[in-house]
Amino acid sequence: MLKKLSAEQLERLLEAGVEEFALHGSAGANMRAIAERAGISVGALYKYYDGKDGFFRACLGRSLEALEAVLAEVTAEEAGFKEYARRIIRALLRFSREHAGYVRLYCTLAASGGEEAVKLAGEIEGITARLYTRYIAAGQAGGDLRRDMEPGMFAFFFDSLLMMVQFAGCCDYYRERFRLYCGGNPEDQPDRLERELLKFYESAFTFEEADVSHRETV
């Protein structure tokens, strides 16, 4: 009879799964390698989870719960859009440092294809899509944000930039991409990232098209 795993062992198992799936995707991940990394037997792994797909879902669920908890914390107190943006930027930069495997898992899923990837995108992106669209629409209604924009479109742009910043903090390709454009490592300069990204967002979300002036050239 297999010994029941402790809460600490189950947590270690899920973390090992996240790392393996982030490296190899759901199809290429090796359950034996996951068990060895977690220091348990393969039999114990299958006792708790219904095959690779079931375990993958558990690992993904763990990462989504962590993300939801972070976003819930930073939006718990009411604030204007700029302050919300500041909190979200700080929180997600911290999230990418503390939970690099979760972010790498998202990156691996984003690069995969097929119906399963489409389905997972709906589950993962739905959290931020609803949240950001709602706050942008509320900012428009309150007169804090430009009104000549589509909330869903701007929520997509907002999230896309944040996603690239998170990827740069823990994925080698995107880290090198950051170095080419900005110099240094993103994880070493969170204040600079926050400051410059807020400037970009503030301009994009504040000025209506009719208020933007461009110097005419002859």
pLDDT for the residue 129 = 92
pTM of the model: 0.85
* Tokens matching residue 22: 């982030």
Q: What is the dihedral of CA 156, 162, 168, 169, to 10 degrees?
A: -150
- Per-residue model confidence as pLDDT tens digits over 117-165: 777 788 888 889 998 999 999 999 999 999 999 999 999 999 999 999 9
Res 180 pLDDT > 90: yes
Pick the CATH number of 61-207 from 1.10.357.10, 3.40.630.10, 3.40.50.300, 3.90.1300.10: 1.10.357.10
* Radius of gyration of the chain from its Cα atoms, rounded to whole angstroms: 20
Domain ranges of the chain: 61-207
Give the pLDDT mean for 27-32.
91
- Per-residue model confidence as pLDDT tens digits over 34-86: 999 999 888 888 888 888 989 998 998 898 899 889 989 998 888 888 898 99
Residues near 102 by Cβ (< 8 Å), separated by ≥ 6? 18, 22, 62, 63, 66, 67, 95
Contact criterion met (CB below 8 Å) for 169 and 184:
no
Stretch (H or E) spanning 50: none
How far apart (Å, rounded) are the C-alpha atoms in residues 200 and 73? 24
